[in-house]
Structure 1
C-alpha cells in the first residue's frame, strides 16, 4: 500500500491533551495545532456546552502560562495539561476592581497575581485600558512592606513593555527614589524599586533611537510622538536623586549587601547612570561617585570571590562604563576660567613653593613646572581634565616631594631639567593606552582590572618613576621620548596580570626597580618590536584602528546570531541562578525532554527565536521553523560556566565527558545562561565548540540594551590582532616612502584675524 494515508489514520497523529474546566472537570481533547487559539477555545466551549461566550475564556498550562498562537504547537506536542480559565479581559477587570476597593487581604492576593499576569500582552492591554496604572501608582504611594513589594514588582514587569507607562509623573519618580533612600527598606522592596528606577534612566530618546549603540556615540535626541515612554532618562531621575538626601549613598552601601541579588540590582542601577549620563550632568555624577568611593566598593566585590561569581557581568560592565567616563574626562578641554580649574591650578602652583624660594620667574610660571608654554589649555589639550586631575593628585600625594623635585630641576641647566608637568601628561597617555581608554563603548577587557580603578595612584607611581629614570639616565630635553619608552615598558611590566598581583608588588616595581634592569628588559622588548610603534602619532593611529576593528568584530558576531546555530540544553549547576517557569525542564539532574536547541536572532535584533529538538534537523532560512522566542531586552546578564551536559548526550568537548546519571554535575567551560532579573535563567546552553561559545556570548553582550562587555579572550585577541595588522599596513605606506614620523606635532599660531578662507585642493593642478 503505497498510497497516501487515509484521513482516520492521519487524525491519530494529533496528540491528546487533558483540559481542566473551571468547575474542576477533566476532559480529554485532540487539538489541531494548526488552528489559532481562539478557534480552539470556541470548539471547546461548543463541545462542553458552556453558556458564556468563548471571548470570556482562555487556555493556560499547569504553570499558569497563557497559551497563545506562538506556543500552542509546543504545548500540544508535549501533551501539556491545559486549563480552561477566565480570559485576560475578565481577569484584568477583576483585578482592577479589587485594586480600586483596596480591601485586605484581597488586595495583596490581587497584587501577587498581577505580578505574573502583567507579563502577558493581552492582559496588559486590558489592564491599562481600565486605568489600572493609575490605581497601581496610588497603591505604591500608600502601601508598605509586602503590598508595596508586590506593587513595585508589578510595576517593574509592566515597564518592560515599550508602551503604556508614559503617563508616570515626576512625583512617582520621587516616591521610588525616597523608597530606595531609606536604609531600613526591606530587600523585597529594594530590588523591584531599583529595577524601576533603572528602567526610567534607560527610557531616554537616545535609547529608543539606537538601542544597540552606546549612549555617547548617538546623535542628538530625536523627537518622539506624544505618549512615547522614551521621555524620562538620566536627567529626570538624577534631579530627583539630588533632591533626596543620601539616596546615592544608600545605593552604594548596598553594594556590600550579603544578599548578592541586592548588590547586583544596585550595581545595575549605577551602571545605567554611568551609561546614560548626559553631556551637561556627567561631571556631577563623576564627583558624586568619587565622593562615595564607588570604585573601592567595586574592587572589594572583585576580591570577594564568592560574591563575584554572581556579579561578574555587572562588575565588567562597570569597568567598561568607567572607561567611557575616563575617556569623556580626557577629551574635555581645561577651561582656565572655571573656578574649580582655577582652584586646582592655584593649588599646584602653591605646592611648588617657588614663591618662597626666591626664584626669578621672569613672567613664567608653568614653564618652570615643565610645560613648554604658559598656555595651560593647550598644554593639557591631549589629556584634558583627566590630566589635570592626575597632576593635582600627584602633587597632593606628597607636596614636600613635589616642591623638592621642582626646586631641584630649577637649579639645573634648562636642557637637563625634567619637565614634570609634561611627564605627567605623558604618563596619562601611556596609562590610557595600556587600559584602552580610546573611545566610549570600545573596551575588550575580559578580566578584572582593579588597578585601573586606582588610575590616579598608578599615575603617581609612574610619574615618580619617570622622574627617577630621567635623573638616573642623565637625560636631556631631546631624550624625552627615550624616557617615555622606558616608562611604557615598566607600566606593562608592573601591571602584568594585574588581577592577581598585590599592591605592594606593583608599588615595588615602580619605586625599587633599577635603571639598568629596566633598560635591559626594554632592549630585549625592542628587539621584538619596532621603536616607531611607541611614537605618539602611531599610538593615536592605533587607537583609531582599534575602534574600527572593534566595530568590525561586533558586526561579524551579530551576523553569527542572525545565521543561527545549534546548542545543547544544559542542566543548571549554579544554585544561585533561579530558573524561569518556562525552563522547568532544565532543573538540575533532570534530563531535558529535547536535548538540542537552535537559536537565531531576528533582523531587528529584538528577539532570539528558537526551537527544541530531539536531534539536529535542517532549519530553513527565516523564522518559520522557530516558534519560540526570547526578548533580547529582558536579558540582563550572560553568565558563563553555569551548566553541565545532560546524561547520555554526546559531549562536544573531549576534555569533559558526558556526566553519569546520579554523579555530581560538572559545569562545562562552554556553557552559558541568559539571565533576567524578572525570570532568572531564560536559557541554559552548552556550545558545540569554543568558537561558537565566543561568537555567541560576546555578540549577546554587545547587543544588550545597556551596552555589555566582551566576554571571551578570543574576541579580545581578535580585535587586537586586527588592530595590529591594520597598523602595520598603514605603516608600510609611510616606511616604503621613508617618511619621517615626528614624535609630536605642533600646531602653528592661529590667524590674526578672520579674513581668510581654506583653499579648494581641486582648483590646483600639479606643475608641469
Structure 2
C-alpha cells in the first residue's frame, strides 16, 4: 500500500461500518511492517485509531488490529502507544482477551503484543519516559484484576495450534527472563510485577506445569514452529540453575533455616542411634534420665555432612544443592530413613555420607549439562538451528527433569557404594564412577527417550560394564597426554608379548602331542559314519619337536600310551627347515567355517568341508621329473608331507600357531591373538600403575633447571653421553614404566 493512501485508510478505519473497518485493518496488517509506511501511519495519528479498534471491536476486526500492532512493534516502532494516557487500559484489555477470549487468532496477536511489552529493552530508541510501562511491572495492574492470567497462558502450551503455543511459550520466557534480571526487580529485591521474590515466582510457574509442558513439546515431532522458544526456555532453565547455585545458604534466612530443620526432622532423629560403641548410647540415656537435653553430637554428621556446620558445606553448590537434597528427602522419605538406619549399624568409615553424596551428584549434573557455559552454547545453538534441523544435538529435554535425574543418580551412588564395598577414603572414586554413569546414560540418551527409561537404566547399569568404560576413558586420557610415549611403549610390549606367546606355543611342540590318524564322525545326512570304516580301530600318531627345534619327530602307535614316548622311539623325522607352508581349516574366529594357510590365505569352504575334521597340513617342496619337457628336467612341487588331526580347537591353535611362529610367521588363530592382546594390555596397565597422576602435569621437579655453581672448578673435566632408546620419554615416566634413568 502506498503512503499516499494513508488518509483514505485512516478514514475507513474510523468508519462506523464494521465491514469497511474489517477490510481496512486487514490491508493495514500486511503493510504496516514497512518502516516507511509505519512512520507515515504514526505521523498521521494512526496509533489512536488502532488503539480504539483494539479497545472496542471484536471478531476478525479485533484479530487484525492486534496483528497490526504486533507487527508494528516488531519493527521497533509504535511504542508511544504504551507511553500515552490510557496505556494501562490498553494493557488490561490485552490481558483480558488472553484470559476470557477463546478465538485462536485473537489470542495469538494478544500474546505477541505482551511479549513485546515485557521484553522491550529499556534503552531502545533512547530513555523511556515511563519505565513502569514496560517489562514485568507493566502487567502488574492487569494481573491483579485477572489473577488467573498465568494459568491461562500455561494452558495454551497444550494448544493444537503451534503458532499460539509458540507465542505462549515466548510470553512465559519473557516473563521469566525479566523476573530474574536486575531490571525486573524493585529496590527490595522482589519481582516488580508480582511483589514476590523471583524464586517464589518461578516456583509458581513450575507448579502450574510449565516444565512438564515444555518437556513434552521438546520431545514431540512438532519442533519446526517451536524450536526457537523451546531453545530459549532450555537456556533459561540453565540460567535459573546457575542463579540458584549463586544463592548462598544462609541460616539467617527463614526459608533456608526451615529447609535444614525439615531435613533433620525427616531423618527420624527420635529413633535410637548407635554410634559405634555401647558406652556412648548409655551415656546419652543417662543424661536423658537426669533431665538434661543435650543435643546429639552427631546431629548433622549422621546425615552425611562432614562437620556439624552444614551451611558451609553448601559453598560449592549453593542453594541449588539444598534444593536437590531436600527435594530427594521429601520424595523418598521412607528410603532416606531406612538408609540412615542401615548405615548407622556400620562402622563410621564404611558409611555412605548421604548429604555429601547428594551435593556431589548435584555438581555432576551441573557439569554434565555445562550450565556455566550456557551463554556461549546458546549462541552456537541458535546458529545451528538456522542452518540445520538436527534437533537431537541441540535440545536436551532431560535437563528439564533435573529433580528426577538427581534422585536416580543419587540412588545409583548408593548402589555403587554398596557394590564396591567403598569406604570414606573411596568417596572420590565412587563419585567418578557416577560421573561416568551419567555421561553414558544421560549423555547418550536420544531426545525422545523418556525420563522413566533413563531412571531405569541408571538403576540397572552393571558395575562391570561401568568399570570397563572407566578403563577406556583412562586409556584415552593417557593417550591424549602421553600418546607419543604410549605408542612407543605399546610397540615394545607387543614385541615382548609376541616373544612370550611364541615361547609358550613352541613349548607345546617340545612337549609333544597325540593325534589320531583317521577320524570317524557322524554326518548330518545319515546315522552312519564317514571317512573310514565304521568298525575299524583308529591308530594314533605322536609328534614332538626336538630340543634343538630343528626336527619334528613322529611315529605311529595303535593307541596312546600312558607315558609319552621319548625321541629315540620316534622313528620318523621331518626337517623344520624344509617346511614351505602350513595349511589348515582352523578358523581365525574360533570355529571351523574357513580354511587358513600360513600365508594368511582364507579359503571359503564348501558344505562338505564344514563337516570335515580339523586338519593341519604341513607342506614342502618335493622335486619331480617333468616328462613333458624335451630334456628331462626336475622341478619343485609343493606337496603335503605330514597331516595332523587335532582333537580340540585349543590343541589346533597351539600347534598351528606354534609351527607358524617356529617358521617366523604371524600367528593367525583367534585364541593366540586374544592371548597376545591380553598380554600387551596387562603389561601396559601394570606399567601405568607405577606412573603418578602428576607425572607430566606438575612440571619439572623442584631444583630442575638450576645452573650449578662453577666455583672451585677448573677446565679438567669431560662429559660421558649414554645413548638411550627412550630419550623422548620424561625421566619420571621412564623410571616408573621400567626404563633406566637418562644419565649424562
TM range (shorter): 0.5 to 0.7
Instruction: Check 1:500–1:304 CA distance in 2 against 1; reply closer, same or farther (3 A cut).
Output: closer
Q: Secondary structure at the match of 1:402?
A: helix
Name the structure 2 match of 1:515. 463
Is 2:440 the partner of 1:493? yes
Q: Aligned pair 1:104/2:67, yes or no?
A: no
CA distance in 2, matches of 1:332, 1:464: 26
Q: Deviation at 1:492?
A: 1.1
Q: Could you report, residue by residue, the CA deviation over 1:567-605 in whole angstroms, capped at 9, with x for unpaired residues?
A: xxxxxxxxxxxxxxxxxxxxxxxxxxxxxxxxxxxxxxx
1:436 corresponds, among 335, 357, 370, to 370
Structure 2's unaligned 5+ residue stretches are: 186-190, 192-197, 275-283, 285-294, 382-392, 482-693, 703-744
| C-alpha distance in structure 2 between counterparts of 1:475 and 1:532, whole Å | 29
Distance 1:396 1:430 in 2: 21
Contact residue 166 and residue 228 of structure 1 kept, 8 A: no
Distance 1:517 1:104, change over 3 A: closer
Secondary structure of the 1:172 match is helix
SS of aligned partner of 1:497: coil
Q: What is the alpha-carbon distance in structure 2 between the residues aligned to residue 270 and residue 226 of structure 1?
A: 23
Alignment root-mean-square deviation, CA: 3.0
- Paired residue for 1:251, among 121, 146, 153? 153
Task: Work out whether 1:330 is the aligned partner of 2:227.
Answer: no
Cα displacement (A) at 1:424:
0.5
Match of 1:292 among 208, 218, 224: 208
| Cα distance, 1:353 vs structure 2 | 0.4
CA distance in 1, matches of 2:172, 2:228: 13
User: 1:456 matched to which residue of 2?
Assistant: 403
Deviation at 1:140, TM superposition (A): 1.2
| Partner residue in 2 for 1:391 | 325
Corresponding residue for residue 261 of structure 1: 163
Instruction: Give the equivalent residue in structure 1 for 2:80.
Output: 166
Question: Is 1:472 aligned to 2:374, yes or no?
Answer: no
Number of the residue aligned with 1:404: 338
Q: How does 1:294-693 map to 2 (within 5 A)?
A: 294-305=210-221, 307-357=222-272, 361-443=295-377, 446-495=393-442, 496-529=444-477
* TM-score of the superposed pair, with normalisation by structure 1: 0.53
User: For residue 220 of structure 1, what is the aligned residue in structure 2?
Assistant: none
- Unpaired runs of 5+ residues, structure 1, are 1-63, 65-86, 210-223, 534-730, 740-768
Deviation, 1:250, is: 1.8
1:417, distance to aligned residue in structure 2 (A): 2.0
- Aligned CA distance change for structure 1 residues 438 and 531 (closer, same or farther; 3 Å): farther
Does the 8 Å CA contact 2:220/2:448 hold for their aligned counterparts?
A: no
Offset of residue 403 of structure 1: 0.7
- The answer to whether structure 1 residue 93 and structure 2 residue 93 are counterparts is no
CA deviation vs aligned residue, 1:655-705 (integer Å, no higher than 9, x gap): xxxxxxxxxxxxxxxxxxxxxxxxxxxxxxxxxxxxxxxxxxxxxxxxxxx
How much does 1:155 deviate? 0.9
CA contact (8 A) 1:111 1:147 kept: yes
Secondary structure of 2:352 counterpart: coil
CA contact (8 A) 2:132 2:138 kept: no
Aligned equivalent of 1:137: 51
Q: 1:177 to 1:338 in 2, by over 3 A?
A: farther
CA 439–331 in structure 1, closer or farther in 2 if over 3 Å, else same: farther
Distance in 2, matches of 1:195 and 1:738, equals: 64
Residue 128 (str. 1) matches residue 42 (str. 2)? yes
CA distance in 1 between partners of 2:133 and 2:109 (Å): 21
Name which one, 1 or 2, has greater alpha-carbon Rg.
2
Task: Summarize the Cα distance change of 1:270–1:348 in structure 2 as closer, same or farther, 3 Å threshold.
Answer: same
Are residues 515 and 304 of structure 1, via their aligned partners in 2, closer, same or farther at CA, if it must alter by over 3 Å? closer
> Structure 1 pair 362/288, CA: closer, same or farther in 2 (3 Å)?
closer
Inter-CA distance 384–172: structure 2 relative to 1 (3 Å threshold) = farther
Q: 1:325-360 CA distances to partner (integer Å, 9 max, x unpaired)?
A: 221122222233333333322222111102333576
User: Whose RCO is larger (CA < 8 A, sep 6+)?
Assistant: 1
Distance 2:344 2:145 in 1: 50
Give, in angstroms, the shift of residue 229 of structure 1.
Answer: 8.6
1:364 to partner: Cα distance: 4.2
SS of the aligned residue for 1:354 comes to coil
Residues 236 and 440 from structure 1, CA distance in 2 versus in 1: closer, same or farther, beyond 3 angstroms?
Answer: farther
Distance 1:509 1:303 in 2: 19
Give the deviation of 1:293 after TM superposition: 1.8
| Cα shift at 1:363 | 4.2
Task: Give secondary structure in 2 for the equivalent of 1:162.
Answer: coil
SS at match of 2:218: helix
| Contact residue 203 and residue 230 of structure 1 kept, 8 A | no
Kindly state the Cα deviation for residue 244 of structure 1 after the two structures are TM-superposed: 2.2
Aligned residues: 439
Greater displacement, 231-240 / 280-289: 231-240
Please report how far the alpha carbon of residue 114 of structure 1 lies from its aligned counterpart in structure 2 after TM superposition: 2.1
> How far is the alpha carbon of 1:389 from its aligned partner?
1.5
Aligned counterpart, 1:191:
108
Q: Is 1:204–1:234's contact at 8 Å kept on the other side of the alignment?
A: no
- Does the 8 Å CA contact 2:321/2:358 hold for their aligned counterparts? yes
Superposed CA deviations along residues 434-492 of structure 1, whole A, max 9, x for unmatched, are: 11111442335633322211111110011111122222222222211111001001111
The reply to whether residue 116 of structure 1 matches residue 40 of structure 2 is no
Q: In the TM superposition, what whole-angstrom CA distance separates every residue of 1:82-121 from its partner, at most 9, and x where no partner exists?
A: xxxxx52x43333334444544332222222221232233
Matched, 1:232 2:123: no
Q: C-alpha distance in 2, partners of 1:505/1:523?
A: 26
Match of 1:18 in 2: none
Alignment of 1:76-87 (within 5 A): none
SS at match of 1:475: coil
8 A Cα contact 2:12 2:21, kept in partner: yes
Contact 1:418 1:470 survives alignment (8 Å): yes
* CA drift at 1:124: 2.3
The answer to whether the 8 Å contact 2:98/2:111 transfers is yes
Q: Report the CA distance between 1:732 and its aligned residue.
A: 10
Measure the CA separation in 1 of the matches of 2:458 and 2:140: 40
- Distance in 2, matches of 1:174 and 1:733, equals 67
* Matched-pair contact (CA < 8 Å) for 1:139–1:151: yes
